[in-house]
Amino acid sequence: MHVKLSVNINKIATLRNSRGGNNPDVVKAAIDCQHFGADGITVHPRPDERHIRYSDVREIKKIITTEFNIEGNPAEDKFVDLVMEVLPTQVTLVPDVPGQLTSSVGWDTISQSKYLRGIIEVFKNAGIRVSIFVDPLEDMVNGAADTGTDRIELYTEAYAKEYATGNKKAINAYVAAAAIAEKKGLGVNAGHDLDRYNLKYFAQHLPNLLEVSIGHALITDALYYGLENTVQLYKRELAGK
């Protein structure tokens, strides 16, 4: 199965915002990533717009030729309004709190089931595929199936940390979670701290994996290897080459 690579370009925006102006150009980065082989572009606009701005999302929508994935917390009305305006291919719902540095936990799909069902229905009625960020826990995956979501995105920080120490058994929880998702009819995405060292092993052990979203590691590698080479490098890792 071809696993899609969606490149998260938030860090490009972080660099731009640190100096002001439009260098580097976030929209051009999205165009280039697509040209270099990325299967999609991911953005995660936060309420303070400290990296991707809401205006960036609107401009990227105009040039997108692949899949467009917008991440964020639907508790923010501003975020929901943006998604409904832009109508991306996919919205990935993440339970971030205001000011959070980066995503750090999946949804409690049991206690927040009613809320998730309601907001997921809003997006699906607009023709947007919905994925929700979850930890690789049986109860949370089963709970996700009850929300009406199309997919889950497995939060992979724990895997990345353990794999870096040589503990390949860290994959086991994700394999089990993906198997439950498949049984429940859910598509499986993954993201957070995946990089060129741990990506191949992860993809090889989740045969039903559909998509990974990678930002920080890929953009960091691009500083050394160039953006085109890096996108292709990650594509090869996903293909097991």
What is d(CA 72, CA 46) in angstroms, rounded to the nearest whole number? 7
DSSP assignment of 27-41 equals HHHHHHHHHTT-SEE
Amino acid at position 119, single letter? I
pLDDT digits (tens, 9 = 90+) for 173-220: 999 999 999 999 999 999 999 999 999 999 999 999 999 999 999 999
**Residue 142: its H or E element:** helix 138-145
Mean pLDDT of 6-17: 98
CB-based contact 46:10 (threshold 8 Å): no
Give per-residue pLDDT as tens, 60-102.
999 999 999 999 999 989 999 999 999 999 999 999 765 544 5
Tokens of residue 33, six digits:
């990533």
The model's pTM is 0.95
User: Could you give the 3-state DSSP secondary structure of residue 153?
Assistant: strand
Average pLDDT (2-26) is 97
pLDDT (tens digit per residue) in 94-111? 997 655 445 557 999 999
Active site residues: 44, 71, 192
Surface-to-core class of residue 99, CB atoms within 10 Å of its CB (0-12 exposed, 13-18 middle, 19+ buried): exposed
Residue 18 burial (CB count, 10 A): 8
Facing residues of 5 across strands?
212
> What local confidence, expressed as pLDDT, does residue 98 receive?
54
The span from the CA of 231 to the CA of 7, in Å, is 8
Measure the CA–CA gap between 95 and 239, rounded to whole angstroms. 31
Q: Is the separation of the CB atoms in 230 and 218 below 8 Å? A: yes
Cα radius of gyration (the chain): 17
Domains and CATH numbers, the chain: 4-238 (3.20.20.70)
Rounded Cα distance, 155 and 46, in Å: 19
